[in-house]
Amino acid sequence: MSTGNIIAETSGLAIGYRISRRVFTVMSNLSLQAKQGELVALIGRNGTGKSTLLRTLVGLQPSLGGVVSLAGTGLHDIGPSRLPRIVSFTSTEPLAVRHIRVRDVVALGRFPYTNWIGALTSSDEDAVSDALEATGITSLAERSIDNISDGERQRTLIARSLAQDTGLLVMDEPTAFLDLPSRYAIVSLLRRLTREKGKCVVYSTHDLDTAVNEADRIWLMTGEGVAEGAPEDLILKGIFEKAFESPLLSFSSSSGTFSFIRGRETAIALEGTGKTARLTEKALGRCGYKTDPRAGIKVVVGERDGETRWTLVDGDRSTVFGSLYDLVNSLPGDAGQ
């Protein structure tokens, strides 16, 4: 694992809002770190202050106490013209325009480097092309932002951030509104940027799966503060379970994922092996059955004429089914509830 320089660090940071003279502290005493070449996922339930933390980190809103330092310099000592060369920020703010070309959006990332009129030099043009290529949207460059998919639009914003050529990229929910494959594609793109370009990417997300699987470091916001560490560290310490504690969910430490708790469960025996048996167990679980070899009723997975068949054995009665759907719909009792 890389041991890059610390690019973002907070110590004793308090975040929140000042509205006229009243102070609303969202969270205090945050001491966090992010290093070059790291993918950092910021996770937390709604309303825990993820956006507030990110906005404080990039200097969009003042902290209520403590210190933020970026690239070794305190945020307050970084001049307004240098800050945009150290950190870029992608928010969920909608664009004001409809007919803007992808290339023009990305080119606006060069803002801190261009002259008074915003003319691109050849090195700016190169940076724009590189950013388009790194995010895989070179072929979309001349398209209007309204004629591309949500995932491609997110790539455009990432490319813009990349064109800004900062060591630290902060992104507020880059995977919001995306479908599962696009979410994975975006997070793996972010990860690739940390590996190939040495960037540090800090992003907030609600998507635990990708974060646990891809992030080097997790900042997990709980009611008490932010826990920090490798995803597996946080799982081992049981912090995930505490952060997302809910009577409806159970956390699997082995996979690092949550699943629904089904309530009362009925025992059922299962005979069979391989993928079919695992999926059968899953289907039974969804209907409130827990596999137990000692149970009175039994499902036997087998094959007949090259087709998978399920046989439900209840005492001396046995019924054969051709699909899991038919099987679970003829299970006895109200166990399904």
Partner 1 sequence: MRPPEKRMTLAMSGLFILMILLFFADLLLGSTRLEASDVIRSLLGQGTPGGEIIIMQFRLPKALTAILAGAAMSVSGLLMQTLFRNPLAGPDVLGVSSGAGLGVALTLLTITPLISLPEGSAFAGWGIIIAAWAGAGAVMMIIMVVSTHMRDIMTVLIVGLLLASAVSAVVTLLQYFSNEAMLRTYVIWTMGNLGNISYPQIRALALSTAAGLVISFVMVKPLNAMLLGETFSRTVGVRMQRTRVVLLAASSILAGSVTAFCGPLAFIGVAVPHIARLLLGTTDHRWLMPGVALSGAVIMLLSDIISSVPGGGHIIPVNTVTSLIGIPVVLWIILGRAGLGRRF
- Residues lying near partner 1 in the complex (CB under 8 A) are found at 58-60, 80-81, 83-84, 87-89, 91, 93-101, 104-105, 108-109, 111-112, 114, 116-119, 142, 160, 164
16, 230, 242 from 207: Cα distances, Å = 24, 16, 17
Q: Which is nearer to partner 1, 112 or 336 (CB)?
A: 112
Q: What's the closest the beta carbon of residue 31 comes to partner 1, in angstroms?
A: 24
Q: Which is nearer to partner 1, 95 or 320 (CB)?
A: 95
Edge-to-edge strand ranges of the sheet holding 6-19: 22-35, 6-19, 65-70, 73-74
Q: Which is nearer to partner 1, 52 or 210 (CB)?
A: 52
**How are beta strands 249-252 and 226-229 bridged, if at all?**
unpaired
Q: What's the closest the beta carbon of residue 261 comes to partner 1, in angstroms?
A: 39
Q: Are 59 and 237 in contact, with CB atoms under 8 Å apart?
A: no
Q: Which is nearer to partner 1, 168 or 220 (CB)?
A: 168
Q: How far apart are alpha carbons 199 and 194 in whole angstroms?
A: 4
Q: What's the closest the beta carbon of residue 129 comes to partner 1, in angstroms?
A: 12
- Cα three-residue angle 179-180-186, rounded to 5 degrees: 90
Q: Which is nearer to partner 1, 94 or 306 (CB)?
A: 94
Q: Which is nearer to partner 1, 114 or 311 (CB)?
A: 114
Q: What's the closest the beta carbon of residue 108 comes to partner 1, in angstroms?
A: 6
Structure tokens at 279: 């999926």
Chain centroid to Cα 330, Å, comes to 39
Q: Which is nearer to partner 1, 95 or 261 (CB)?
A: 95
Q: What's the closest the beta carbon of residue 3 comes to partner 1, in angstroms?
A: 28
- CB-based contacts of 269, cutoff 8 Å, min separation 6: 291, 292, 293, 294, 295, 297, 298, 299
Q: How far apart are alpha carbons 293 and 335 in whole angstroms?
A: 18
Q: How far apart are alpha carbons 282 and 337 in whole angstroms?
A: 16
Q: What's the closest the beta carbon of residue 120 comes to partner 1, in angstroms?
A: 11
Q: Which is nearer to partner 1, 85 or 309 (CB)?
A: 85
Largest Cα–Cα separation, the chain:
87
CB atoms within 10 A of CB 46: 6
Q: What's the closest the beta carbon of residue 128 comes to partner 1, in angstroms?
A: 12
3-state SS track over 168-217: EEEECCCCCCCCHHHHHHHHHHHHHHHHHCCCEEEEEECCHHHHHHHCCE
Q: What's the closest the beta carbon of residue 152 comes to partner 1, in angstroms?
A: 16
